[in-house]
Amino acid sequence: MMLVIEQPRSNVNGSDHPIFSGTGSSSPDGDEDALLIDVRTPAEYASGHVDGAVNLPLNRFVQEYAGVAPDKDRQIILYCQSGGRSGQAAQFLLQRNYKKVVNGISAGVVALQKNLPIRRL
């Protein structure tokens, strides 16, 4: 299951926190040109990553995200081991006005959703 993070909007209690859902305009399987970003460590990435994913560990994300993802309108699917680190990276991108950000949770979930193989280094 992938969590789609839609643009922040006021919810029932008036706060502007992102809405997490399983569907939406940023459907994980709706954009063939999506940028896949693995925010795990290089060792975790080497142990198995989605084919075509870029490794940008969370501890370097803030410094390097703009070079990896310059287009704020392109769909970006982030993943890690369990969704925690990719969720943090997704929140960071949304705060910088990226439009289509998806927390893909894990490599396995993204590979299944996108019908892509897992590669090992």
Structural domain boundaries of the chain? 3-9+30-117
- Would you please indicate which residues are annotated as catalytic (active-site) residues? 80
Of the candidates 97, 77, 111, 82, the residue with the CA atom closest to the CA atom of residue 18: 97
Name the CATH superfamily housing domain 3-9+30-117: Rhodanese-like domain (3.40.250.10)
The pLDDT assigned to 28 comes to 54
pTM of the model: 0.78
pLDDT digits (tens, 9 = 90+) for 3-59: 454 444 333 333 343 333 333 334 455 567 899 999 999 999 999 999 999 999 999
The pLDDT assigned to 15 comes to 35
The pLDDT assigned to 29 comes to 56
Share the mean pLDDT of the chain: 82
User: What is the b/e burial string over 28-67, where b = at least 16 CB atoms within 10 angstroms of the residue's CB?
Assistant: beebeebbbbbbbbeebbeeebbeebebbbbeebeeebee
